[in-house]
Amino acid sequence: MTEKVQGPASYFPSIERKYGRPIAEWQAVVRAAPGYGAGAKHMELVALLKDEHGMGHGHANAVVAHTLAEDKRGEGCRVVRLGRPQLRDSPSRSGGFAGRSATET
């Protein structure tokens, strides 16, 4: 049985449907905002999503809150390249063939 998603993440499916972009892209927009990480205020980031991207207040607040919480826990600030994963052949450390591994592109 899966647990019900709670908190800001509970808005994510409707945000993705309504605005047509995955949450990772919205988080990238927040992280690319002027002053992010150097003292940008929560409500300034919410205003950016509302004013420049037409996002509703609740949805913008959820994206910002989740992004800030991720970064505070050290889970965020990942470089995310958008596109399809590609498979590549990679040798193992012992010099043999390790098979294929997926990498983000």
Chain segment 77-94, per-residue pLDDT in tens: 544 444 444 444 444 444
At 28, list the tokens: 């990238």
Which regions in the chain score pLDDT beneath 50?
Answer: 78-105
How far apart (Å, rounded) are the C-alpha atoms in residues 55 and 23?
13
How many domains, the chain? 1
Domain, as residue range, for 2: 1-105
Predicted model pTM: 0.67
Element (H, E) at 98: strand 97-103
DSSP 48-97: HHHHHH---HHHHHHHHHHHHHHHHHT--------S--EEEEEE-TTSSE
